[in-house]
Amino acid sequence: MPKILIVDDEDKIREVVKEYAVFDGYEVDQACDGMEAIKKVKAEKDGYDCIIMDVMMPKLDGFSACKEIKKLSDVPIIMLSARGEEYDKLFGFEVGVDDYVVKPFSPKELLARIRVAINRRQAPKSEDVLRYKGLEINFAAREVTIDGKKAQMTPKEYDILFYLARNMNIAMSREKLLEEVWGFDFYGDDRTVDTHIKMLRNSLGPYRDLIITLRGLGYKFDNING
């Protein structure tokens, strides 16, 4: 049974999410602030399959807690926030948030996002490794090495790179990337993709040009085998 952690300082929100999650077959744990969430992640022997976390909380906010948790685990984190500005969403993705849901939200939509996040993490991974000069993309280990040094990327950067590399030399629209990488209908500006591509290119350094911009459409990963 998948186990999730609900982190929110509002009892009512925790209970509503818990009710829907339990009905959907999840085991549920709860925390009322970021500090407690970090302690629970450290103490949970088998780890959580997904964390749902509010942004504004006492003691430690959700963004700060997310950064600390990502140092301990690659568990998917879905952020809840009453603030829906694009800046807040992009900042969340930069610190490692996997998905972002704006309050008030539909519990059914949240559960759909939880299922997607867990399924993506548990999906069978191929064992192949893509190499090009000093760039190595290890799909199974979810690692990228650049000239012998392990790259430090956000979860979404990995997701985008792996998806583009898997579909080498195939044109991908921004809408297609949102659908496939975010895994659910994304309510927001598709410039979010451009921002993440910019971050990814920075992370790739000397291999940034392997991601080609297709004006008016989207992006593709260069055919390094061609």
pLDDT value at position 185? 52
The residues, any chain, with a CB within 8 Å of residue 178's CB and separated by 6 or more, are 186, 190, 192, 193
Q: Which amino acid is at 142?
A: R
What does each of the 226 residues of the chain score in pLDDT, given as a tens digit? Answer: 899 999 999 999 999 999 999 999 999 999 999 999 999 999 998 899 999 999 999 889 999 999 999 989 889 999 998 776 667 777 878 888 888 888 888 899 899 889 888 877 765 455 588 999 999 999 888 899 999 999 989 888 999 999 999 889 899 998 888 888 876 555 556 678 899 999 999 999 999 999 999 988 899 999 787 5
Dihedral angle over CA of 55, 59, 63, 68, nearest 10: -140
The correct CATH number of 3-122 out of 3.20.20.60, 3.10.28.10, 3.40.50.300, 3.40.50.2300 is 3.40.50.2300
DSSP calls for 83-150: ---HHHHHHHHHTT-SEEEESS--HHHHHHHHHHHHHHHHS-----EEEETTEEEETTTTEEEETTEE
This prediction's pTM: 0.62
CATH topology of domain 129-221: Arc Repressor Mutant, subunit A (1.10.10)
